[in-house]
Amino acid sequence: MSEVANKSDRAGGAGDDLFRTVTSNRMSEAIVDQIRTLIRSEKLRPGDRLPSERELGERMGVSRVTVREALRVLEAGGLIEIRVGARGGAFVTSPTTSQVGSGLADLITLSPVTASEVTEARQVVELGIIPIVVERATDEDIAELRAMVEEHAAALKKGQYGMPMSAAFHQRVAACTHNNAIEMLVHSFHGPLLMSLREAQVAAPLMGHRGTNEHRDFVEALAARDADRATEIMRTHLSRTARRVARVRAGQQRESAD
C-alpha cells in the first residue's frame, strides 16, 4: 500500500479513543478545538483523512449537522480540505500563507489599531526585511516586480490605478524573502495597509504617481543588489505615507474638537 493511502486511512481507521465525546454547550466549537489540538500535537497530520461525518458524530456524541458545521469552520481556517467523490472526505492540510495572513489581517483590522500605527509598523517590518530581500530575490522575482511596476504605470495613465495595487507590490516584495513567516506577517497588513494608503491618498491624490516611480527605482536598486539604495528609497516612500496619514489624522481630530 502506498504512503499516501496509509496516511489517508490512518485517522479514518483509528480507534474510538482518538476522538472524545463532546459535552460543551457550544458543541461545534468544542469539536473544532478538539481537532485543532490533535493537529497541533501531530496526532493528526497533513494528508490524514478524518472519519466520516456519521462516525465522528457517533464518537463525539453529536449530530451530523453539528459535525458538518465544525468541519466548515476548520476548512475555512485552512486546517482541513473537503474532497468529493469516491475517495473524498475531510483531509488534514496545512494553511497557506495567504490564509494565515488573512486571519492575522482580520485580527488587526478588527482591533483598535489606527492607520498611523499600521504605517509605523510597516516602516519597522518593511525596512527591516530589505537586506534579506536583496540577498534572496531571484531573477524571476525581479522580473515579476518589474512587470508589476509597468502594469501599475499603465493603470495610472488610464486612471485605473488603485491602492490595492500598491499593497500587492509590497506583498510581492515580502515574498522575495522566501520566508513564509515574513510573508505571512506582511500579508497580515493587507487590510490595515489599504486603510492607511487610502487615508494618505486623500491627503495627496497624486501619491500614486510618485509611489509608482519609487517602486520602479526600488526594483532597480534590488536588481543591482544595492541594499543601501533600496533601503533609502523605501524609507522615503514609507515616511511620506506616514506623514500624510498623520496629517489626515490631525485633521480628523481638529474636526472632532470643533
Instruction: Report the percent of the chain where pLDDT is more than 70.
Output: 72
For the ranges 105-109, 118-122, 223-227, the lowest mean pLDDT is seen at 105-109
Q: How does residue 5 score in pLDDT terms, banded at 50, 70 and 90?
A: very low
Tell me what pLDDT residue 170 has. Answer: 92
For the ranges 78-87, 201-210, 218-227, the lowest mean pLDDT is seen at 201-210
Selection from 6-10, 38-42, 143-147 with the highest mean pLDDT = 143-147
**Residues 235, 241: Cα–Cα separation, whole Å:** 10
**Residues 1, 23: Cα–Cα separation, whole Å:** 38
Please state at what angle helix 207-223 crosses helix 139-157, rounded to 10 degrees: 160
User: Where residue 44 sits, what CATH number does that domain have?
Assistant: 1.10.10.10
Is residue 95 over pLDDT 80? no
Contact by Cβ (8 Å): 244, 200: yes
Q: Judge if 86 and 106 occupy the same domain.
A: no
Give the end of a domain, one of 71, 92, 113.
92
Tell me what pLDDT residue 26 has. Answer: 75
- Number of CB atoms found within 10 A of residue 206's CB: 9
Is residue 183 over pLDDT 50? yes
Tell me what pLDDT residue 249 has. Answer: 63
**Residues 71, 65: Cα–Cα separation, whole Å:** 10
**Total domains, the chain:** 2
Q: Judge if 25 and 131 occupy the same domain.
A: no
- Break the chain down into helix, strand, coil percent, rounded to 5: 70, 5, 25
Phi, psi of 167 (to 5 degrees): -60, -40
Q: How does residue 251 score in pLDDT terms, banded at 50, 70 and 90?
A: low
Q: Judge if 112 and 165 occupy the same domain.
A: yes
180 grid coordinates: 513564509
Which residue type, as a one-letter code, is found at position 217? D
Q: Judge if 85 and 110 occupy the same domain.
A: no
- DSSP annotation string for 48-98: PBPPPHHHHHHHHT--HHHHHHHHHHHHHTTSEEEE-STT-EEEE----HH
Find the domain containing 237 and state its range.
Answer: 97-257
Tell me what pLDDT residue 233 has. Answer: 97
Q: Judge if 203 and 246 occupy the same domain.
A: yes
Residue pointed to by grid coordinates 479513543: 17
**Residues 162, 32: Cα–Cα separation, whole Å:** 38
**Residues 128, 133: Cα–Cα separation, whole Å:** 10
User: Where residue 129 sits, what CATH number does that domain have?
Assistant: 1.20.120.530
pTM of the shown model: 0.60
Q: Is 19 helix (H, G, I), strand (E, B) or coil?
A: coil
Q: Measured at the alpha carbon of residue 58, what is the angle toward residues 55 and 62, in degrees to the nearest 5?
A: 115
Q: Judge if 50 and 134 occupy the same domain.
A: no
Tell me what pLDDT residue 22 has. Answer: 60
Give the end of a domain, one of 54, 72, 92.
92
Give the end of a domain, one of 92, 111, 139.
92
Q: Judge if 42 and 169 occupy the same domain.
A: no
